[in-house]
Amino acid sequence: MYEEIRQSGQEALTQLLKVYEILQGYEDRKIRQKKSRFSLKQIFYNGSISEQDKPTGTE
């Protein structure tokens, strides 16, 4: 009985670790995308990422 509980607990921890690793990878990608997106904005908008400094296209 104890061995079955320990085994199922071990399996649950293994599954949880896999999910955590997947989510961690997703979070890392999201952070990298956000950083690269801001650096692209800085290139295209002369170092500014604020809304009022973006070109409107009507100039």
Residue range 13-47, pLDDT digits in tens: 999 999 998 888 888 877 777 766 555 555 555 55
Q: Tell me which residue range forms the domain holding 9.
A: 1-46
Confidence of residue 59 (pLDDT cuts 50, 70, 90): very low
In a domain, 25, yes or no: yes
Question: Is residue 24 in a domain?
Answer: yes
The counts of H helices and E strands in the chain are: 1, 0
> What pLDDT does 28 receive?
80
Tokens 């973006």 map to which residue? 54
Q: pTM of the predicted model, to two decimals? A: 0.45
Q: How far apart are CA 11 and CA 51, in angstroms?
A: 49
Domain count of the fold of the chain = 1
Q: In this predicted model, which residue has the larger pLDDT, 45 or 9?
A: 9
List, in order, residues 6 or more apart from 46 with CB less than 8 Å away: 53
